Amino acid sequence: MLSCAMAPPRGMEQLASLLGVKVALDGFVKTLDEKVCSTETDVPGIYVCGAVEGPKDIPESVAQASAAASCAARAVMKVAQKPTPALLIDEEACGKCGLCVVSCPFEALSIDEEENKVVVDEATCRRCGLCATVCGPGAIELPNNERMQISQQIQSILKDGSGALHPLVLAFCCDECGYSVLDSVGFQRKRYPPGIIPIFIPCLSSLSIHHVIEALSLGADGVLILGCLEDRCHFEEGAIKARSKVEFIKLLLRELGLLENKANILMLSGNMTQDFVSKVNEIADRLRRVKT
């Protein structure tokens, strides 16, 4: 098919820099994922559609416009309805150390000096869960993703599933690309080892080392940490933080005399289904050899 070359309009870079959105190498606006998140930019509340993201025809632009409008409506409703608080902060347990405040990538936390307590800006908080993982006394919980709830999932999978499936691998998957890649694998009816059992968390930045160790000590043959590509993390730093946590876990396993390759990390975009299948097969083969 013949088609004319298309370049981004003049002024595109200035507009992008004014809004704080990233521009790809070809000069068009960079979205979080051109296949599964093609309207979302890395700036919350800014969505794109049409040729600003790259060359496309009118029907595709109109479909993308509907998706962008729906994303914008969802974002507004989330703030307006406030169905649950962004965070649960236990004021008595909090020592006001400020670690959560400096760790938040979105500057959503502050310490109210007069009230002597940590306050969260509900509209700015993206519910990534990073602050909960840095708080020593465990004073912060992410509603619906509380530490105990994740622990209970781990315990129930390992209680019901251990022995029947091997290798049994608990996969901590982010709700963004981790979820999308598994969804696409299922949709495409691709097969992968049945012992890979997902546990969903909002972002890899909310991954708790405690939960990984808990899974291994309760008998999981391995853990898989599955999330977005580093430059596509929906919460900016999640994938980078997860990589350093995995390095730390491997070090810990080495120190304990356990196999460090029990902990694996995969960073994929939602459409990388074949990469997912071949990598999890490799991981399962490796763990199977250890088991026998």
In the complex, the residues that contact ligand SF4 under the rule CB under 6 A are 86, 89, 94-100, 104, 106, 108-109, 118, 120, 125-131, 134-135, 137, 139-140
Nearer to ligand SF4, 241 or 250 (CB): 241
Pairing of strands 196-201, 169-174: parallel
Contacts of 157 (CB under 8 A, 6+ apart): 168, 170, 197, 199
Residue with tokens 């299948």: 277
Of the two residues 203 and 280, which places its CB atom closer to ligand SF4 in the complex? 203
264 - beta bridge partners? 224
Q: Are residues 141 and 147 in contact, defined by beta-carbon separation less than 8 angstroms?
A: yes
Main-chain dihedrals φ then ψ at residue 17, nearest 5 degrees: -70, -30
CB of 256 to ligand SF4, least distance (A): 27
Q: How far is the CB of 115 from ligand SF4 (least distance, A)?
A: 13
Q: Which C-beta is closer to ligand SF4: that of 9 or that of 98?
A: 98
Helix, strand or coil for residue 123? coil
Contact (Cβ atoms closer than 8 angstroms) between residue 143 and residue 134: no
Burial 172-194, CB ≥16 within 10 A → b, else e: bbbbbbbbbbbebbeeeeeebbe
- Of 104 and 177, nearer to ligand SF4 (C-beta) is 104
Closest CB to ligand SF4 among residues 201, 216? 201
CB of 109 to ligand SF4, least distance (A): 5
CB of 230 to ligand SF4, least distance (A): 18
CB of 87 to ligand SF4, least distance (A): 6
Q: Which of 82/291 has CB closer to ligand SF4?
A: 82
The least CB distance from residue 86 to ligand SF4, in Å, is 6
